Amino acid sequence: MAEPVLSGLPASLSYNFGDAATPIAPLLTVTDADSANLASASVRIVGGSFAGDGDILTADTTGTAITAVWNAANGTLFLSGSDTVENYQAVLRTVSYQSTATDPGNSGGNDARTLAWQVSDGTTLSTDLFSAASNYTGGGDARYSVASDVDGDGDLDLVTSAFSGTGVSVFLGNGDGTFGSATTYTTGLSPHGVAIGDINGDGIADVATANTSGSLSFLLGNGDGTFGTATTLATPGATAVAIVDLNHDGKADLVGSVAGTSIGNVVFLGNGDGTFATGVTYATTFAPHAMALGDFNGDGNVDIASATDNGTSILLGNGDGSFGTVTLLPGSTQWGIATADFDGDGDLDLAASMINIGAVFLYLGQGDGTFTYTGSLTAGSWPYDVATGDFNADGKVDLAVTATGSTAVSVFLGNGDGTFQSAIGATVGIGPYGIMVGDFDGAGGTDIVTANSSGTISILLNQTPGLSATEETTIELVDPSTIPRTRWVLRSWSTLRRLATNTSSRSPRCPVAGSSSPGRTSAKVSAARPATRAVGRSRRRSSMP
């Protein structure tokens, strides 16, 4: 069975900060020896784009049966609808990049962008979606994991919180779905949620944790997979953390879920140098356990959906770092939440795990900040966390849910209309808590990672066919106002395959609308300062990153 193939990404492309939208791959070609039609495609900004960078991807679908939806919250341009290979090729050739920020690199440092391209012909798998789990030992009672390239080698690494300890475990990825042994860094007592983002504007991934003992902590990254000493911000009973720009100043802010003497979401506005203003708490009425961030009312501001002890709370952002009055969606004891477009209408929807009744509640977004409860999914014993992804490469958003009272993950394949099929089970470690997705072996599918109460993390590698080949191209992004006239050199190399965005108790995942998306190519847009980057190498992988 031949997979679709993407080729012809540009050998060079420069983009000046503030320019109009610029086509990225006008000579791109798509071929598929087995199918005359494709089912979906995506272009995602998976590396180097942090909060406030103002990145936008657009495409022209005129005259085709293809629908294009841009999700600014997680940097994904998603194309869907059955159409010919030729029409998908034509639309992908129109994909354009633009940044509305004056400095998309957040005041210097690494302004790289990795654009991940992927297409799928919709081929389904007749056997198991995932291979048998591989397990790695981390800290005791692992709760959540996040993924990013923390050492700059182009492979996804993992950072996992250890609830029964005082820190996080860092697993450096080898790019083939395997990981090295854990290195532990101290954060705070009983870390629960964990996130990755660029806190101090140097273009390097930093780590933040929510510590139930009463603080948020962050570790500044060194860019080589190591981290500095933790800095702590006091806040009562933190359970989740996110790194995101709330006030459009190009600086990373911290958002935490707190359930101590105060109940709600605490906001620390960042100064861009690794320091923060005093925290302000916005009430959620009931104790929150996890968050999903996204633009729920289409005003361009970050909003917060929280899984609480009495349903889902919604706080709409004002764009200045503050939030309006809370509204509550029906439910009871919720511990996990994720957001994506389940029904293909361009509006973000929500899925929240109801740990007390063994179900996941579904809420379809109306695009104005309101949601409609549409039903539930049976999700095993004590469903804890929820993640979204396209696990069977059909262009539709699927759900994956951990059941902490078991050794199972339940995968619900989406029908594309807001409904889901019956659960498909996969075995992981004992007592799975947090769940996240990414492409850890470079094979093109959406893999799953769970953090388990037994102190292990489990890796489920996707076996779905029908994904395109991978080709990655480095492009230079130029800031004409600050960089002297320089001869910009294009380098082609294999780079990041996915930088998770900030959801709930996980890393910069806000949200993951089809977080996997179909086979992909990666194009990296970078704004290197002279003599700051080593020349890379060019290579192809057999499938998407």
Q: How confident is the model at residue 473 (pLDDT cuts 50, 70, 90)?
A: low
Residue 126, pLDDT score: 53
CATH topology of domain 196-206+235-460: Methylamine Dehydrogenase; Chain H (2.130.10)
Residue 422, pLDDT score: 95
Residue 190, pLDDT score: 93
CB atoms within 10 A of CB 269: 20
Contact 340, 512 (CB under 8 A): yes
> What are the sequence ranges of the domains in the chain?
5-125+466-541, 196-206+235-460
For residue 410, give the H/E element and its range: strand 408-412
Residue 529, pLDDT score: 27
Q: pLDDT, tens digit, for every residue of 493-513?
A: 222 222 233 333 333 333 332
- Let me know the angle formed at the C-alpha of 246 by 117 and 262, rounded to the nearest 5 degrees: 125
- Let me know the angle formed at the C-alpha of 304 by 302 and 308, rounded to the nearest 5 degrees: 175
Q: pLDDT, tens digit, for every residue of 298-357?
A: 998 999 999 999 999 999 999 999 999 999 999 989 999 999 999 988 899 999 999 999
Q: What percent of the chain has pLDDT over 90?
A: 59
Q: pLDDT, tens digit, for every residue of 244-276?
A: 999 999 899 999 999 877 789 999 999 999 999
pLDDT mean across residues, the chain: 82
Strands 470-478 and 14-16: parallel
Residue 518, pLDDT score: 29
26 upstream amide cis, omega within 30 of 0: no
Contact 383, 372 (CB under 8 A): no
Q: How confident is the model at residue 406 (pLDDT cuts 50, 70, 90)?
A: very high
Contact 87, 80 (CB under 8 A): no
Higher pLDDT, residue 88 or 50? 88
Q: How confident is the model at residue 44 (pLDDT cuts 50, 70, 90)?
A: confident
Stretch 538-545: mean pLDDT: 31
Q: Highest-confidence range of 43-57, 407-421, 488-502, by mean pLDDT?
A: 407-421
Q: pLDDT, tens digit, for every residue of 135-178?
A: 999 777 899 999 999 998 989 999 999 998 889 999 999 999 99
Higher pLDDT, residue 524 or 215? 215
Q: How confident is the model at residue 491 (pLDDT cuts 50, 70, 90)?
A: very low
Q: pLDDT, tens digit, for every residue of 178-213?
A: 999 999 999 999 999 999 999 999 989 999 999 999
Residue 40, pLDDT score: 85
Residue 37, pLDDT score: 93
Contact 361, 373 (CB under 8 A): yes
Closest CA to 254 of 263, 272, 266: 266
SS3 letters across 116-128: EEEEECCCCCCCC
Task: Answer yes or no: is pLDDT of 514 > 50.
Answer: no
Q: pLDDT, tens digit, for every residue of 15-33?
A: 877 788 999 999 999 999 8
Higher pLDDT, residue 390 or 217? 217
Stretch 398-413: mean pLDDT: 95
Residue 344, pLDDT score: 85
How far apart CA 497 and CA 153 sit, in angstroms, is 11
Residue 337, pLDDT score: 98
**Longest alpha-carbon distance in the chain:** 63
Stretch 108-122: mean pLDDT: 72
Stretch 355-361: mean pLDDT: 95
DSSP label at residue 221: B
Residue 262, pLDDT score: 74
Residue 111, pLDDT score: 64
Residue 544, pLDDT score: 32
Q: How confident is the model at residue 490 (pLDDT cuts 50, 70, 90)?
A: very low
Q: What percent of the chain has pLDDT over 70?
A: 79
Give the burial class of 178: count Cβ atoms within 10 A of its Cβ; 0-12 exposed, 13-18 middle, 19 or more buried: middle
Residue 76, pLDDT score: 81
Residue 101, pLDDT score: 64
